[in-house]
Chains A and B, each alone.
Chain A
Amino acid sequence: MAHTAHRLARAVITPTTIVLAVIVAIAVYFIVQRYLYGLGAVTNINPGYPWGTWVVVDIVIGTALGCGGFAMALLVYVFNRGEYHPLVRPALLGALFGYTLGGFAVLFDLGRYWQAYNLVLPWYTNLNSVMVEIALCVMAYILVLWIEFSPTVLERFGWSGLRRFVERWMFVVLALGVLLPTMHQSSLGSALLVMGTKLSPLWFTVWLPLLYVTSALAMGYAIVIFEATVVSESFDLPSEHSLLSKMSTVVGGLAAAWLVFRYGELIWRGDFGYALVGDLKAVMFWIENLLMAFAAIVLLVPAGRASKRASFLAAVALLLSGSLYRLDSYLVGYDPVGNWHYFPSVPELMVTIGVIALEILLFLIFIKAFPVLANARPAARNA
C-alpha cells in the first residue's frame, strides 16, 4: 500500500497559466466594481432572482465539484479501501480550492459583507435557518480541508515535528471531513424546501437533501476521475486508469441509485406529468437525467469502464448532470413571483469564470509546488 507523492517538476508559468491569470484579473476588476458601485452594477440579479450565478455556480455547484476530498476520504478511510490512497491528495487539493473559493465568492455576493461576522455570533444565530447550518458547516469544512492538506505543505518545507503532531490527530479531522460535507451538501438541498410552490415539482421534494448529498458524492468520485485523467493526459504522466476503473463501479452504482430513486419518487408522488409538458423545465430535467443515465450505464458496463475515453466522458456527463441538477433546482425550475427574467450579465459571468479559472490556476501551481501527485515521477526523470 505504501506510496509516495511527488511534485510535478514543470515550469509554473506557461501559456495556460498566463491565460488563466488574465481571466482572474478580469474577474478582479469586476469584483472591485461590485464593491464600488453595488451588486446591481455588475450582476443582473433582480427582485425576482435574488440569487444568480455567483451563488448557484460558485457556491452550490462549486462546492459539489469540490466533493472529491469528501468522496475519497469516505472511500479510503471509512470503507477502508487503502488502494485508492494515491488519489486522495489531488482530490483534497481540488476540494480545497473548490470550497475556499466558494467561501470567498460568498463574500462578494453578500450584500452586507461587512456584517458577515454576524453569522458566527451565537446570539444572532437562527437555528431554524438552513443557511446557518450551511454557512457554519462550510466554514468548518474549509478549515478541515486545510488541515487535511497541511501535511503536504509541511512535508514540502520539511517541518516534520509539526507534521507528526498534525498527523497524530488527523483521524478526528478526517472524520469531520466526511461528516461535514454530508451535512452541508444535504443542507444545500434542504435550503430549497422553503421554496414550496415556487419550485417546480420536478425538483421539489422532501427528499431534496438526500438527492443532493448522493449526487454530491457521485460528483466527488467523478471529479477525481476527471481530474486524474486530465492531469495525466496533459502532463504525459503514467495513467491511473486501472485504479480509476475499479472505482468506477462505485460511481456508476451511485448514479444509477440516484436516478432510480429520483424517478421512483417522482412517479410515486404522481408529478411525473410535469416532465412531459415540453417546456424549458421539462427539457432541462431530461438533459440532466439522460446525462446521468449515460454516466451510470458507461461506468457499470465493464467495457465502458475499461475504456479510458468512455469513462472520462462518463465522468464529464455525471459532473454536467450534477451541475445542471443544481442549476435547475436553484434557477431554472424556480418560478419567481411576477414575470421576472434572469440571465447573468457579462461581468457577472466573467467573475464566475474567473473563480473557476483561479481554481484551475491554483491547482496547477500547487501540484508543481507541493508533493501532490502520486504518479509524478521524482524530478530526476525530467531533469
Chain B
Amino acid sequence: MAATRDQAGSSRRIDFEEVLSRDLDEPVKAGIGLSRRELMKFCAGVAATMGLSTAAGVRMAEAAEAKERPPVIWLHGQECTGCSESLLRSYHPTLESLILDVISLDYHDTLCVGAGHQALDYKHAMMEKHKGKYVLVTEGGCPTKDGGIHCKVGGKTQIELIKEAAEGAAAIISIGSCASWGGIQSADPNPTGAKGTQEIIPDKTVVKIPGCPPNPYNFLSTVIYVLTFGKVPELDQEGRPKFAYGRLIHENCERRPHFDAGRFALEFGDYGHRQGFCLYKLGCKGPETYANCPAIGFGDVGEGQWPVGIGHPCFGCVEKETAFTKPIHSLATVKTYAPPAAFPDVDMALGTGMSPGAAAVVGGAVGVAVGAGAVLLSKMGKKDGSEGGEQA
C-alpha cells in the first residue's frame, strides 16, 4: 500500500478547512480507540520527534486514519525480543491500537495467535496477498555460520526467511542492534557468525533502527513516515534515519555543562554521581554515540528518563563500533564537532587597552608640557637678542 500511495500520498493537498471543521472528540473511523483529537496529538508528536512541521502531523493523522492499513510482516532472529517488548510499552498510542489499527500487523513471529503450520501458512498467504506492498520488519540477528543452522523457523534458516520475505517487501526496517549489525551475538568471538539484515540482503535498502532496545518512537516515527510519504526518511551512512541518529548524545546531554566544567562522577554512588555530574569517567559513550535519547527520553515516564538521565553511563547501544565491543568502563572518544565556545582561545586578546579617558590624560599632559615649552622658548627668543649685550 505504501508503494501504491507513493505519488498520491506525497502530493495530496490537505484541506485544512475541512480538517479544522471535523469533530475532534468523535472517535476516528478506523476504530483505533482514540478520539480524533488524540490521534492528531499523537501524530503531531511523531512529526515533532522527526523535526517535521505540524502540517506533516495532520497528514500523518490523515494517513493513519485511512481505511487501508499497511500490512506488516515481522520476523524474529537471534535476539531477546526486547525490541518488541519495548515497543509494547509505548503509550501514545498504546502499541496494540497502533499495530491493530494504524498498521495491519499481519504476521509477527512472537505475537501471532496461531502456531506452527497455521501461522506460517498465514504468513505466506499474506506475503502473497500484499506482495510488493507490505513492510518487512526484522528483529534479531541472522546467524551465517554452518549454513545458518543456528536459527531456524519452520525448517528454514533465518537467511532463507529474510531473503524470502524481502523479495516482496515495499520497505524493510530492521529494528534493534541485532537486526542492524548482529548485535550482542555478533560480539567477539561471534560463534554463530551473526550478521545484520542488511548484510544478508546487501542490494536492498534497509532502514536501521538500532538500539538495545531502540526507542519505540524512533520506530513508530519511521513507520508513520513511510506510511505518509511513501518513502523512507533520510538516512545516514549507516542506514539510520537522520532524524533520530543525526546528533551526538554528548551535544544534547543534560549533563553536558558538568563535562564542560570538569565535574565528573568518579564512581557509582559517590558525591559527583549523586549530584548528577557527568558520567564520562564512568565510561559513558555519549561522546561517540549518535542518538536522540537525551531529547526524547525513554520509557514514557517523564523528562530526563533515559540511561544517562538516571545515572547510568550510555553504553553506545546504537553504535556498531561501541556497543558490545568496547568495555562499559572504557573511555569514549569525544567526537564533538568543535570545542566549546566558552573556552579561552590561546591567542585571545586580553587586558585593557587605551581608554578615551587615559588618552585624554596623556594628551593633556603632553599638551601642557608642549605649551609650557613653547612659552618658554618664545620668552627665550625675545631675550636672545638682548642677551648678547648682557653677556658682553
Residues of A within 8 A of B (CB): 44, 46-49, 229-230, 233-234, 238-239, 241-242, 307-309, 312-313, 316, 338-346, 348-350, 353
Question: How many whole Å from A229's CB to the nearest CB in chain B?
Answer: 8
* Cβ contacts under 8 Å, A348 to chain B: 358
Q: Are A309 and B384 in contact (CB under 8 A)?
A: yes
B125 on the A face (CB < 8 A) = no
Q: When A309-B380, A349-B361, A350-B361 are in contact, do A341 and B387 touch as well, CB less than 8 Å?
A: no
Q: Are B355 and A346 in contact (CB under 8 A)?
A: yes
* Cβ contacts under 8 Å, A230 to chain B: 376
Q: Are A342 and B355 in contact (CB under 8 A)?
A: no
Question: How many whole Å from B78's CB to the nearest CB in chain A?
Answer: 59
Residue of B346, B351, B361, B373 near A48 (CB, 8 A) is: B351
Q: When A309-B377, A353-B361 are in contact, do A345 and B387 touch as well, CB less than 8 Å?
A: no
Listed from nearest, the 7 A-B pairs whose CB atoms lie closest are A343-B354, A341-B351, A346-B357, A340-B351, A46-B351, A44-B352, A341-B353
Q: In this complex, which of A47, A230, A341, A348 has the most chain B Cβ atoms within 10 angstroms of its Cβ?
A: A341
Q: Are B358 and A346 in contact (CB under 8 A)?
A: yes
Q: Are A312 and B377 in contact (CB under 8 A)?
A: yes
Q: Are B351 and A239 in contact (CB under 8 A)?
A: no
* Cβ contacts under 8 Å, B362 to chain A: 349
* Cβ contacts under 8 Å, A340 to chain B: 350-351
Q: Are A349 and B377 in contact (CB under 8 A)?
A: no
B334-392 contacts to A, CB under 8 A, are 346-355, 357-358, 361-362, 365, 373, 376-377, 379-381, 383-384, 387, 390-391
Residues of B within 8 A of A (CB): 346-355, 357-358, 361-362, 365, 373, 376-377, 379-381, 383-384, 387, 390-391
A340 to B391, CA, bound (A): 56
* Cβ contacts under 8 Å, A241 to chain B: 387
Question: How many whole Å from A375's CB to the nearest CB in chain B?
Answer: 13
Question: How many whole Å from B343's CB to the nearest CB in chain A?
Answer: 15
Question: How many whole Å from B278's CB to the nearest CB in chain A?
Answer: 29
Q: When A242-B391, A343-B352 are in contact, do A316 and B347 touch as well, CB less than 8 Å?
A: no
Q: When A242-B391, A307-B384, A312-B377 are in contact, do A341 and B350 touch as well, CB less than 8 Å?
A: yes
* Cβ contacts under 8 Å, B384 to chain A: 307-309
Q: Considering only CB atoms, which chain A residue lies closest to B346 in the complex?
A: A338
A338 to B349, CA, bound (A): 8
Q: Are B355 and A239 in contact (CB under 8 A)?
A: no
A313 to B348, CA, bound (A): 43
* Cβ contacts under 8 Å, A339 to chain B: 347-350
* Cβ contacts under 8 Å, B349 to chain A: 339, 341
18 pairs of residues in contact across A and B, judged by CB atoms under 8 Å: A48-B351, A229-B380, A233-B380, A239-B387, A239-B390, A241-B387, A309-B380, A312-B380, A316-B373, A338-B347, A339-B348, A339-B349, A344-B358, A345-B358, A348-B358, A349-B358, A349-B362, A353-B365
* Cβ contacts under 8 Å, B383 to chain A: 239
Question: How many whole Å from A14's CB to the nearest CB in chain B?
Answer: 14
A339 to B346, CA, bound (A): 8
A136 to B66, CA, bound (A): 97
A47 to B352, CA, bound (A): 11
Q: Considering only CB atoms, which chain B residue lies closest to A342 in the complex?
A: B351
* Cβ contacts under 8 Å, A342 to chain B: 351-353
Q: When A309-B381, A313-B377, A316-B373 are in contact, do A48 and B350 touch as well, CB less than 8 Å?
A: yes
Question: How many whole Å from A48's CB to the nearest CB in chain B?
Answer: 6
A308 to B348, CA, bound (A): 51
Beyond A239-B390, A343-B358, A345-B357, 16 extra complex contacts between A and B, CB < 8 Å: A47-B350, A233-B380, A239-B383, A309-B377, A309-B381, A309-B384, A312-B376, A312-B377, A339-B348, A341-B349, A342-B351, A343-B355, A348-B358, A349-B358, A350-B361, A353-B365
* Cβ contacts under 8 Å, A47 to chain B: 350
Q: Are B365 and A46 in contact (CB under 8 A)?
A: no
Q: Considering only CB atoms, which chain A residue lies closest to B347 in the complex?
A: A339
Q: Are B350 and A343 in contact (CB under 8 A)?
A: no
A150 to B223, CA, bound (A): 102
A342 to B358, CA, bound (A): 11
A348 to B365, CA, bound (A): 14
Q: Considering only CB atoms, which chain A residue lies closest to B357 in the complex?
A: A346
